[in-house]
Amino acid sequence: MEIERKFLVQPIAFEALAKKKNYIKQGYLNTHPERTVRVRVKNDTGYLTIKGKGNESGTTRMEWEKEIPLEDALQLLTLCEPVIIEKTRFDIEFKGFLWEVDVFHGVHQGLMIAEIELETEGQFFEKPDWILQEVTGIEKYYNAYLSKHTVNQK
């Protein structure tokens, strides 16, 4: 089970705050709301991920992920929805929590989204100063949606 919240962020130099940086290229084989199937290449490692339908608030859903050979992931990316998502992910620790900040490239250039994973939906956490508004549960900020639309589409 995955419990996460999403936020838009101010454009700052995340690299200076990050303990780790990863380049991610990902696509979706299926974007049905009941189940999404994602193919991801993170640096030089491939992954296949299946996510179930989210709850009403959009914070909680089932997630299954398995590492796959890089060659398989690259081949599967050719079968994905039309927009392949490219982003740099910065892992930033803040007050006992790991924030993953995605800075998007390509057709989504300029979009920046932070995610935090929680133990429970109501778990308290402090937001860093660079957090803007929460976008948890808003479809247009989810990667499955972005795999079929550009950031400027409403």
H/E segment holding residue 76 = helix 70-77
Contact of 152 with 135, CB cutoff 8 Å = no
141 is catalytic: no
From CA 112, how far away is CA 74, in angstroms rounded?
25
Contact of 151 with 108, CB cutoff 8 Å = yes
Sign of the dihedral through C-alpha 142, 146, 46, 80: positive
The active-site residue, picked from 23, 28, 141, 142, is: 28
Structural tokens at position 117: 């994973």
From CA 12, how far away is CA 80, in angstroms rounded?
31
Catalytic residues: 28
